[in-house]
Amino acid sequence: MSERERSVSTDDQPARRGLRLATVGGVPVYLNATWLLLAGLLVLMYGQLPSAAGTGPGAYAMGVAFVVCLLLSVLLHELGHALTARRWRIQVHAITLDLFGGYTEMDARSPSAGADLLVSLAGPVVSALIGFGALGAALAQPDAGLLRELTWQVAISNLLVAVFNALPGMPLDGGRILRAVIWAVTGDPHKGSRVAGWCGVVVAVGSVVVGVLAYANRWVGLLGVGFTVMIAVILWRGAWASIRAGHVAARLAGLRLGSLVSPLVAVPAGMPLAEAQLRGGGAALGVTDVHGRLVALVHDDAAAAVPVERRGSVPVESVARTLDPGRTLAVELSGEDLVRAVRLNPAPVYLVLSDGAATGVLRTADLARALTSVRPES
């Protein structure tokens, strides 16, 4: 019932998500195999409880009907997130329905705190609407019967989903709402991530406490406690991920490509590596073609791997890689944008452009050093 943020859209892995059910509003919907476990457990639980359908096959059939309603409810909750995100031009990759309900994968970057707030709010609002709608329908039915029992259960489950997801801790929807509010008030999304993350830690611990108390009072069985603990573990991990992301992102914000640029020495193709290195004097090397155009960048590791005695005969371009648009960076890049650009096209060295002209190179090792040495903000 949460949104999973992806900072970089790498190759999609539909196989990991499960069976593709449909595409709704341009968003692919997957059914994960773990969902069958949830469905099986619920049907089993139903079969053993007395219901309006009696016991035995009738009760199991009721369980199946409830599971289908739950699946549709969760799907509508996720579509609430996904379609609101698309409305704000946030890229949505997929909705996956799984053991814990479901989640929506979307780009981590939100255009504003307001958009983030609405996207997070949309899921619980949809669940609450279904819940109250079903509650009304249940109350409107005069006779106790299968349909009333089913609508009643749909009402309760959706209201529970709405309330639980609205708890103000990451990675729940409520945590994202809290983060968006802090972002709006302070102008700092990273502080929002850290505070909402800490609240998520409290929610995770609280879930375990509630689960154990419910078991002690015999409101739930061992299975219920086990499920609660599994949910708590997911919340705990999501909460800490949010706290870490908040710290890292705040550090990143101070990173400027301009301050990491190294000088570039261009040498013509065909020049022996030894001569090129002598001319470069330790600077990064670029290779030019017969027209004097820069066409490739030397990889330091590849050059270092050539035995010294062979460097006099090996042409410099044999340890260089052709420049392509993915291996050039605009000097204005900073912070998250810089790291994103590097992650999208991993390479040991990039050409840095200022107004379209080469101004030097970024050695990825220098970026890594800067990332680990930047002082954490107070």
Residues that bind Zn ion (CB under 5 A): 1, 123, 165, 173
**CB of 47 or CB of 174, closer to Zn ion:** 174
The CA distance from 253 to 238, in Å, is 22
Max Cα separation, the chain?
Answer: 94
**CB of 123 or CB of 286, closer to Zn ion:** 123
Closest by Cα among 242, 170, 230 to 37: 230
**CB of 51 or CB of 165, closer to Zn ion:** 165
The CA distance from 265 to 262, in Å, is 10
**Whole-number minimum distance, CB 199 to Zn ion, in Å?**
16
Token pair for residue 339?
Answer: 């790291």
The CA distance from 180 to 105, in Å, is 18
Tell me the three state secondary structure of residue 167.
coil
Name the strand (E) or helix (H) holding 357.
strand 357-363
The CA distance from 348 to 314, in Å, is 21
Name the strand (E) or helix (H) holding 92.
strand 92-98
**CB of 204 or CB of 341, closer to Zn ion:** 204
The CA distance from 80 to 72, in Å, is 12
Phi and psi at 330, nearest 5°, equal -80, 135
**Whole-number minimum distance, CB 171 to Zn ion, in Å?**
10
Cβ contact 277:311 at 8 Å: yes
Residue by residue, DSSP assigns 206-235 as HHHHHHHHHHHTTSS-HHHHHHHHHHHHHH
Tokens 């879930």, residue located: 207
**CB of 77 or CB of 190, closer to Zn ion:** 77
**Whole-number minimum distance, CB 211 to Zn ion, in Å?**
21
**Whole-number minimum distance, CB 303 to Zn ion, in Å?**
51
**CB of 123 or CB of 192, closer to Zn ion:** 123
In the complex, which residue's CB is closest to Zn ion?
Answer: 123
**CB of 165 or CB of 207, closer to Zn ion:** 165
**Whole-number minimum distance, CB 86 to Zn ion, in Å?**
15
**Whole-number minimum distance, CB 248 to Zn ion, in Å?**
24
**Whole-number minimum distance, CB 218 to Zn ion, in Å?**
30
The CA distance from 179 to 121, in Å, is 12
Tokens 């949010």, residue located: 242
**Whole-number minimum distance, CB 104 to Zn ion, in Å?**
7
Q: How crowded is the C-beta side of 202, counted as CA atoms within 13 Å?
A: 10
**CB of 59 or CB of 106, closer to Zn ion:** 106
The CA distance from 284 to 304, in Å, is 12
**Whole-number minimum distance, CB 57 to Zn ion, in Å?**
34
The CA distance from 5 to 275, in Å, is 48
**Whole-number minimum distance, CB 164 to Zn ion, in Å?**
10
**CB of 73 or CB of 165, closer to Zn ion:** 165
Local structure of residue 351 (DSSP, 8 states): E
**CB of 149 or CB of 173, closer to Zn ion:** 173
